[in-house]
Structure 1
Amino acid sequence: MTDHIAGILDELGGGHARPMAAAFLANTVMPWISAETSPQVRQQMLAAAADLVYLTGWMAMYERAHGLGQQYFVQALGLADDARDHVTYCRTLRGMALQASNLGYGTKALELADSAAEAAPSAGPRLVAFLRGQQAHGAAMVKDRRQAFARLRETEDALSRADGRNDAVGGYDRTAYEFHVSHVLAELGDLPGSIQAMQRSNRARPAAERQGRVHANGILATRQWQLGHIEAACATWDTFLNDYAALSTARGDEHFAALRAHVKAQPGTRAVRQLGERVQAIATQKAAA
């Protein structure tokens, strides 16, 4: 069920997937983990529940419901600890680090990322890459350039040693690595480099990851616009709109608001005018829905 909800998240957005996850947790998972069973089955049930609670917290964070996301993350930590599920425990700490970075708390983001890495001393290479990438972002947020690039090197090395299997929940791949590179470079003032890394991330992204692509293109277009590459930004925003029109996502809404502000601030060129017409059409469509 967790994998199924993760697929719905990618295809339709958190606005559709998170209510399903919350209902399944309340109506099915909670009664199951309270049932009488053997210690082995109970441990497996707690581990499965921790994974779903982590995903639900991640979706709440992504939908800008940060207080709710924190509650889910704390619950996931407790379940993973009871289940002795070190992988989900570390993933959840990493999710909390990502939330702190989204809110602009660089020191806390690095602290949580370091805690996640310390809790996984015997982790496999893909999880190591997952954790080191977040440490790199946290280090860049506190302007520790040396540590940030050292962590990125460790991330790339670990990813090169990972096997071909990537988890649907909490996985890490080339797309995620380049996404981290982009954030590190942006935090350290290299806007052109961050744009190139985000473009590499998008090229590596699986076609089914619509929600992730919406977020990445929103960031990419904003940075292109900031650099003065208006034509390129318009093309990226146009791709963003292809996915955004079919999604229910608060993070996408946030990027859409930034897009409308861009169009309003600089309406002069033909590309911007055409983009503005499409923005208005999609705004009308979303309001009607």
Structure 2
Amino acid sequence: MPPPRTRPVVNRALSTLIEQAGWTHAATAQHVNAVAAESGERIHYDRSAVGHWLTGTVPRPEAVRAAVEAFRRRLGRPDLGPADLGWPDRDGTAPDDPWSGDPVARLAALGEDDMLNRRTVLTAGTLTLAALSAHGGDARARAAPRRAGSGDVIRIRATTRGFADLDDQFGGGHGRIAVAAYLAREVTPLLHATNGRSRPDLFSAAAELCYLAAYMAMDAGANALAQRYYISSVRLADEAGDGVLRATALRSMAVQAAELGHDTEALALAEAAASALAGHGPPRTRAWVTGMRAEAHAAAGTRWDALNLLRSTETQLERADSVPESEWTGNYRRESLEHQIGLTLTQLGDHATAARHFAASMNARRPVELRTRALIGLRAAHAFLRAGEVERAAGTVLELSEDLRQISSARVRDELSRLRADWQPYRGDPAVTRADRFVAETVRRTRIF
């Protein structure tokens, strides 16, 4: 029940939507906070704040964006805007379809805005389920002809590999703006005007770099920005006629949706990635996509489908006859499968077995994969904790101490925060006390966001 009112309701539009949503004032605040948190906005509204909104207060722009998206999702109305909530649209929060328009022009503007931290990025800073659900059409770029050569493709791919190595080692918060600058200033001018024989390869190379920009943004906690980069990657892959790369970007959008708790969208995206491959592509890439389908089915509650898909993933990976490094997309190794099994079993509630698969994945990681090793290691610690192996959980965190000091990653930070919250009942355990003290010091003294 809403609290007794001492001031009259002024914002009737918002009051009507709250009633249609079936939310209390407290639930309204919780949903707004949760949507904002998906893109790294730390806001903490409560039921009294909603009461103030109803009596005429207009919240901050980031809260307006989050509230609009929260009601869009709840009511299934992607057309909702601030005016429908009784608020002025000061920042242009009208729905925007990133799947439409010239893909190259959109990417150029996105890279420039990201690099310069412009308000156009900030005011589009909410991840939308409508964009997650679209999966794209085929809107091809048009420009006056100019030839880009194979040398341009070689340079872009070499740059992508260099940035990818930095991301693997230090996390998405390190060097991300440099990637945006390279996309905006060096790559998109080539895409704007080329029709030579190198055109498909050029668009594929740009899509790979755009995919990396998306992954780095997601790792840095900028999920709305990552969503737009992922969509750009899909659309560039379509320009190149590259179904494998389209599947790669859709698969990673499924990962993003799953990590944010959007299980229905994650499953749809994983299935869309499989459809993009249509049974073709390298076995290693097919295994990579099938593994994500297994995780998404587990989250959706279809247990036997998930387990059958895991078996298919293992079979596909065993048939992969190329070394992983030879395939840019789907660089999927045994330790990657161990991680996927851990994620799937976590969704199915088998934490003890999941912990052992996570630990196997963590221990097999190469030296360059500091961020990945840390992220998976923290997931292993969490699974050990949930399985009742408290000292093993604490020991796993302490084992990661050197890695954690070097990493700049919002995803790692969030794993640490969830782990610390969940081991509070065990703070009397000496191992947990040591691990918690280390984590607190690490978060305070390092670049983990």
**Larger relative contact order, structure 1 or 2 (CA cutoff 8 Å, min sep 6):** 1
Aligned amino acid, residue 104 of structure 1? G
Q: Deviations over 1:23-54 (max 9, x none)?
A: 1111111112224x442122211110001101
Tell me whether 56-65 or 89-98 shows the greater mean CA deviation.
56-65
Match of 1:31 among 178, 189, 192: 189
Which position in structure 2 is the counterpart of 1:72? 229
Q: 2:417 aligns with which of 254, 257, 267?
A: 257
Q: 1:173 matched to which residue of 2?
A: 333
Letter in 1 for 2:417: A
1:124 matched to 2:279? The reply is no
Query: Which position in structure 1 is the counterpart of 2:305?
Result: 147
The range that moved more, 167-176 or 134-143, is: 167-176
Return the letter of the residue paired with 1:211.
R
Q: Which residue of 2 is the match for residue 42 of structure 1?
A: 199
The structure carrying a bigger helix percent of its residues is: 1
**TM-score, normalised on structure 2?**
0.61
Partner of 1:243: 403
Q: Tell me the residue number matched to 2:241.
A: 84
| CA spacing shift, 1:39–1:244, aligned 2, 3 Å | same
Does 2:374 correspond to 1:214? yes
- 1:277 counterpart residue number: 437
Q: Note the 1:151-162 alignment, pairs <5 A.
A: 151-162=309-320
Contact conserved, 1:237 with 1:259, CA < 8 A, in 2?
no
Q: Considering only CA atoms, is the larger Rg found in Structure 1 or Structure 2? A: 2
Q: Secondary structure at the match of 2:221?
A: coil
Aligned partner of residue 198 in structure 2, secondary structure: helix
Conserved 8 A contact 1:117-1:132: yes
- What secondary structure sits across from 2:446 in the alignment? helix
SS of residue matched to 2:320: coil
| Residues 103-152 of structure 1, C-alpha deviations (whole Å, 9 max, x = no match) | 11222211111111111122121111011001101110111111111111
2:257 aligned with 1:100: yes
Residue 211 of structure 2 corresponds to: 54
- Partners of 2:352 and 2:238 lie apart in 1 by 42
| 1:205-239 alpha-carbon deviations (Å, 9 max, x no partner) | 22221111111011111121222211111111112
How much identity, in percent, do the aligned residues show? 34
Asked if the contact 1:14/1:249 (under 8 Å) is kept, the reply is yes
1:9 aligns with 2:167: yes
> Structure 1 residue 234 and structure 2 residue 391: aligned?
no
Unaligned segments of structure 2, at least 5 residues: 1-158
CA shift at 1:259, angstroms? Answer: 4.3
Question: Is contact 2:295–2:344 with CA below 8 Å preserved after alignment?
Answer: yes
Would you say the 8 A contact 2:283–2:316 is kept in 1? yes
User: Greater shift after overlay, 74-83 or 261-270?
Assistant: 261-270
Aligned match of 1:184: 344
2:358 partner amino acid: M
SS at match of 1:14: coil
Q: Which amino acid in 2 is paired with 1:89?
A: R
**Residue pair 2:244, 2:276 contacting (<8 A) in 1 also:** no
TM-score in terms of structure 1 length:
0.93
- In 1, the alpha carbon distance for the partners of 2:423 and 2:287 equals 38
Equivalenced residues, count = 288
- Residues 263 and 273 in structure 1, CA contact (< 8 A), matched pair in contact too: no
SS of 2:173's equivalent?
helix
Answer yes or no: is the 8 Å Cα contact 1:3–1:168 preserved in 2: no
C-alpha deviation, 1:274, in angstroms: 2.4
The 3 A distance-change label for structure 1 pair 135 and 208 is: same
Secondary structure class of the residue paired with 1:59? helix
* Contact map agreement 2:391 2:431 (CA 8 A) in 1: yes
Shift in alpha-carbon separation, 1:187–1:198, aligned structure 2, 3 A: same
How much does 1:170 deviate? Answer: 4.0
Cα distance in structure 1, aligned partners of 2:350 and 2:440: 33
